[in-house]
Structure 1
Amino acid sequence: MVNSLGFDRPPGETRVVVAMSGGVDSSVVAGLLAREGYEVIGVTLQLYDHGEATFRKGSCCAGQDIHDARRVSATLGIPHYVLDYEERFRKAVIEPFAESYALGETPIPCVSCNQSVKFVDLMEVARDLGADCLATGHYVRSRIVDGKRQLLRPLDGDKDQTYFLFATTAGQLDFLRFPLGNMTKDETRELARDMGLVVAEKSDSQDICFVPKGSYSDVIKKLMPEAEKPGDIVDGHGRVLGQHKGIIHYTVGQRRGLGIASGEPLYVLRLDAKTQQVVVGPKSALSARTVRLRDLNWLGPRPLAEMADGNGLALEAKVRSTRAPQEAVVNIRHGEVYVTLIAGETGIAPGQACVLYSDDGADAQVLGGGFIAEAVPAALVA
């Protein structure tokens, strides 16, 4: 007998730790598994406490959310533990985020959080508790393909979170389960209502959890006061067009708030941390087709070097969490991984993720991905 989580034993003999953020998704996961008869243990990590952020609509892993996770666990009749991981979260996620932003990059802290705190530290806690697996409320799917557990896109394409989980390793996938992968968000909320959970109508987490007012620069200035250095706003030829108060106030693709007069709309093309320059230009200069990746995590059935022959490996890729994958080709050149986007993209910035898929279908497998080290402007690609 194989149970719904893939173990050859009854649910009652299977211990599951559920990562409970205090939101509706993870709460429903705990409820579903408890209803099926699994031995469920809820664990919530307290990751930060920034005063008003703990009660901000759309926040997670802080004051009100911990309280909600406790109430849900009490309703379900499962044990619940809260672990203080503020120091670990600060060192593993917040500080690297600030350092990356100060270098002119556009980091994705949710990926870093999954890479470190959630899928390393919390997984270790689950194993210490004798769990057979760790279940989360992510909208992704996983299943065994040719003897290896693979990560796939979920049924609900609008809630697809594979972009934020591309760095999950094969070993981690073996221990993880995603019970919501075959459900829609509406179905999840309906289940929450049916279970009588207080979080049934709770808003989804939005933006970056540890940024209280949505102002990245405020967080960076607090952690790295020296990062706010004034400099020049220049065009593509190096001509000075104006002054700025620090590159931490700008992002690639930004148009508003430049404070310079021009006969045509200007956009931030790149940020140079060494010279403290904000380079601007026309929208056409934002276009890029090829990106170089760093820190590649490969989940494919065979090594990338084998799959990417002389013509490269054709697949699907995306550099925006909210966009559908597009046709792309991966090549390895001099030990570096390059992804060419067939249709191109605008506003690509270092630090963003490029996630690779087997195809653009609803059942597509996540082949892996990496962080963008640089984007090559379309005009420079032969």
Structure 2
Amino acid sequence: MRILVAMSGGVDSSVAAGLLAEQGHEVIGATLQLYDHGAATGARKGACCAGQDIHDARRVADALGIPHYVLDREARFRRAVIEDFADTYARGETPIPCVRCNQTVKFQDLVELARDLGCEALATGHYARRVEGPDGAELHRAADPARDQSYFLFATTRAQLAFCRFPLGAFPSKAAVRAAAARLRLPVAEKPDSQDLCFVPRGAYHELVERLRPETGAPGEIVHALEGRVLGTHRGIARYTVGQGRGLGGAARQGEERLFVAGIDAGRRRILVAPRGVLPRREVVAGEVNWLAAPPAAPLPCTVKLRAREAPQPALAHWDGAALRLVLETPGIAAPGQAAVLYDGDRVLGGGFIRAAQAEAEAPRRAVA
């Protein structure tokens, strides 16, 4: 086939391109230039989509003997990902920029480019598996659970999934991927993995958010969610997420009791804290739902991940055509803005973005009024 490969300049996407070329496909490489934030350009290693990384992608394409294109999507990335990232924090939620990037710049724009170039598929370096099922393409977890990225791909549409390929999904480990890079003699075989968000040069994401949305850096009160007592002052809501125990200063402990972030009242610039045992909830509601399987007409037993790095937990999914309500077998901590992703074994059924529970949002407000 003629296949467009999204090449970030890292090891994973480079191996994906190399394997497909080795298999005899006509491979075309494409790199998206997404940002240029000074320190993030040039010397910084292990990011993606800027400076040195674009140069590395071109070096790999040259080594493989494939054509390579660089597409300027900086303005699009800023609108769809960076601005959304800041807006989500300003609402008192915790964003997942990788999902937004996959939803827009990567899969939407690159699928369109692939079709324009006459390609029959788009391949990426994601750790996930595309499996042909009785009703079409299915998204499954990667063979290596430690590297699995299916959680971040839940918003991929069924049409996009049918068009996509994930050559690394069956690899048992990252070591095996690096071994493939060495065997293919790719110049990035030893390049370190990215550890931070690609558009935040030094991991200080709150600085970016506060620059774009200054109100998120304004100080406010830390309030006991159950008792309504003001316990201290915080340095801006962009520094906090539900479940967090750090950054609370003296408010983190009341006597023998340790407190954690239970909610964020963005309108009043208040961080609500409570004992950890209060945080887990049995029911979680998600919006912006995307189904990769047939939407259930009746309550559906499944497993669900509320955070990328946690194991799927048993739940019962209720779908009313607009909102997804999950009843968890074991109560879990759900941070608004994060994703609730549904699985049937290794298969991704769909998912949505977690919303604040109405009752929980109102109770602290009554307590501190």
Both structures adopt the same fold (TM-score exceeding 0.5): yes
Residues 334 and 179 (structure 1 numbering): CA distance in 2 closer, same or farther, change over 3 Å?
closer
In the alignment, which of 297, 307, 315 is matched to residue 328 of structure 1? 315
Taking the TM superposition and a 5 Å limit, the aligned residue runs for 1:152-167 are 152-167=140-155
SS at match of 2:267: coil
Distance in 1 of aligned mates of 2:194 and 2:159 = 27
C-alpha RMSD over aligned residues: 1.7
Which residue in the other structure is 2:83 paired with?
Answer: 95
Match of 2:277 among 278, 284, 294: 284
Unaligned runs of 5+ in 1: 1-13
Normalization by structure 1: what TM-score? 0.89
Report the CA distance between 1:271 and its aligned residue. 0.5
Secondary structure, counterpart of 2:215 in structure 1: helix
The amino acid across from 1:337 in the alignment is L
Q: What is the alpha-carbon distance in structure 2 between the residues aligned to residue 226 and residue 243 of structure 1? A: 15
Please tell me whether residue 254 in structure 1 is matched to residue 234 in structure 2. Answer: no
Matches within 5 A, 1:193-342: 193-236=182-225, 237-261=227-251, 262-263=254-255, 264-300=257-293, 302-304=294-296, 306=297, 309=298, 312-332=299-319, 335-342=322-329
**Contact in 1 for aligned 2:287/2:322 (Cα 8 Å):** no
Distance 1:365 1:257 in 2: 37
Aligned partner of 2:330 in structure 1 is 343
Shift of 1:238: 2.1
Matched residue, 1:15:
2
Any unmatched runs of 5+ in structure 2? Answer: 364-369
Shift of 1:334: 8.8
Partner of 2:367: none
The residue that corresponds to 2:366 in the other structure is none
Deviations 1:29-85 (A, max 9, x none): 111111111111000001111122233343111111111101001100001011111
> Is residue 338 of structure 2 the alignment partner of residue 352 of structure 1?
yes
The separation in 2 between residues aligned to 1:242 and 1:326, in whole angstroms, is: 35
Please list every run of at least 4 consecutive aligned residues from structure 1 whose deviation after the TM superposition is greater than 6 angstroms.
Answer: none
CA distance in 2, matches of 1:102, 1:33: 42
- 2:349 is matched with which residue? 367
CA deviations on 1:295-352 (whole Å, 9 max, x unpaired) are: 010111x332x2xx2xx21011111211221111111369532112212223x21000
Aligned counterparts of 1:50 and 1:372: Cα–Cα separation in 2:
30
Letter matched to residue 200 of structure 1: A
- 1:83 paired with 2:71, answer yes
Sequence identity (%): 56
Separation of aligned partners in 1, 2:352 and 2:240? 23
Partners of 1:350 and 1:202 in 2: CA distance: 34
Q: Give the structure 2 partner of residue 31 of structure 1.
A: 18
Rounded to whole Å, the distance in 1 between the matches of 2:29 and 2:93 is 36
For 1:13-32, what per-residue CA distance to the aligned partner results, in whole angstroms no more than 9, with x for missing partners? Answer: x2110000001111011111
